[in-house]
Amino acid sequence: MKTLLFLLSFILSIAVSAQDVTYLVKEAEQFEKEKKDDDALKKYQEALQVSPSDERALFKCSELSSIIGNRQTDKKLKADYFSAALTYAETVVKQYPDSANSNYAMALALDKISSMGGTKEKLQKLGDVHKYLEAALAIKPNHARSLYLMGKWNEDVSGLNAAEKAALKTIFGGMPSASLPAAIDYFERARKADPNYLLCYLELAKAYKKNHQSDKAIEILNRLIKLPPKTIDDNGYKAEGKLLLESLL
């Protein structure tokens, strides 16, 4: 009888915990919709206190740490956020290796951390960033954030100077091919996968301009400035896009 009561109590506690996590995650998602990223991160962290292996909470804690960290002007604070993003990403990708979100979170965290270091550190991270993005896109080919970041990867690598490209070959014994047209293709695919991803429009327009396709850049920028902001950063992207548009007209 005692054993039965213990089992029933255990099952009930699991059910209650699941409900708590679901409620906390929904609260966090609502904060994101309201553009309250700091509050959203705290709620996802609360969800992890209830269920440390919750996939959604782990992923969002990593992604939001990367996003919020990117806004910081203090280098120490920025580095702390990026370090947290990597820790969450390592945990979620280890527990959920077949998740596109998990692999994307890892690629994003590595990309952000590499941006804090010098050229050598950035070059050393490029291979790993590409590896995790490839994994994410193999799992979900239309994963918008991974498509966007792969576009940035192609743009960054194709823009390296001769010495940096030589260093990459030394470090990795060769790297996947990268080009500006490939970057544009990935950006276009990301935009189609998520038509409300404003940062993608801005970077796509910049890539078109760099590729001497000002007409395409103008078309994309005209669409960008008409889109409603979805994140805290979107008004800034729209303002930057407007200035770029004016310079092209």
The string of pLDDT tens digits covering residues 45-64 is 999 999 999 999 999 999 99
Handedness of CA 136, 137, 138, 141 (dihedral sign): positive
The pLDDT assigned to 16 comes to: 40
Over residues 102-128, the mean pLDDT reads 88
69 in a structural domain? no
41 in a structural domain? no
Structurally, the chain folds into a number of domains equal to 1
141 in a structural domain? no
17 in a structural domain? no
At a CB cut-off of 8 Å and minimum separation 6, what does 129 contact? 107, 110, 111, 114, 149, 153
239 in a structural domain? yes
User: Taking a C-beta distance cutoff of 8 angstroms, is the pair 48, 84 a contact?
Assistant: no
186 in a structural domain? no
Question: Distance between CA 66 and CA 112 in Å, rounded?
Answer: 7
The pLDDT assigned to 231 comes to: 94
Among 4-8, 20-24, 98-102, 202-206, whose mean pLDDT is lowest?
A: 4-8
30 in a structural domain? no
Cα dihedral 121, 126, 128, 134, rounded to 10, equals 170
pLDDT band at 13 (very low <50, low <70, confident <90, very high): very low
Domain that holds residue 209: 195-249
Over residues 69-79, the mean pLDDT reads 95
Summarised one tens digit per residue, pLDDT across range 132-160 is 999 999 999 999 999 999 999 999 988 88
62 in a structural domain? no
Measured in residues, the chain has a length of 249
At a CB cut-off of 8 Å and minimum separation 6, what does 182 contact? 151, 154, 158
pTM equals 0.89
Question: Distance between CA 230 and CA 216 in Å, rounded?
Answer: 24
